[in-house]
Amino acid sequence: MQAIEDNDAPDMTGPEAGARDIERALASLAEDQRAALLLVVLEGLTYREVAEVQGVPIGTVMSRLARARMQIRAYLDGERPTLRRVK
């Protein structure tokens, strides 16, 4: 028998909660959006540098980031029932 904790459903705190879900959420993104997000979050590039790497204006980089974050949130929210931590 496993109990399911309901009260922590909407968050994704703690690295253990995020690992597999974030993998799948990233995989669901369009390539340009995923690259923009990873360059900023993981590689620490400035928006200007990402624009340089991707060969697009900074405004486009920001739009890609916004869409990537929205999509990840929607993905994780949509998956919420299976995201509940099982103890």
Partner 1 sequence: MIDRDSPVTEHELHAYVDGEIPADRRDAVEAWLASHPEHAARVAHWRAQADAIRARYDAIASEPVSVRFDLEKITRASRSWRAVAAAGVIAAFLAGGVVGWMAHGASAAAPSRFDIFTAEALGAHKVYVVEVRHPVEVPGAERPHLVQWLSKRLDYELRIPDLERTGLKLVGGRLLPGPFGPAAFCMYEGPSGERFTIYYARTDSPQTAMHYRAGDGFAALYWVEHGLAYVVSGPPERERLASVAQAAYDQIDKAAPSGKQ
CB of 1: closest distance to partner 1 in angstroms? 28
Q: Do the Cβ atoms of 8 and 84 come closer than 8 Å? A: yes
**What is d(CA 37, CA 27) in angstroms, rounded to the nearest whole number?**
12
Name which position in 9, 47, 60, 84 contacts partner 1 (CB under 8 A): 47
Name which position in 22, 56, 60, 84 contacts partner 1 (CB under 8 A): 22
Structure-block tokens of residue 14: 């703690």
**What is d(CA 85, CA 7) in angstroms, rounded to the nearest whole number?**
10
Binding window for partner 1 (CB under 8 A); candidates: 1-9, 57-65, 78-86: 57-65
Name which position in 9, 56, 60, 69 contacts partner 1 (CB under 8 A): 69
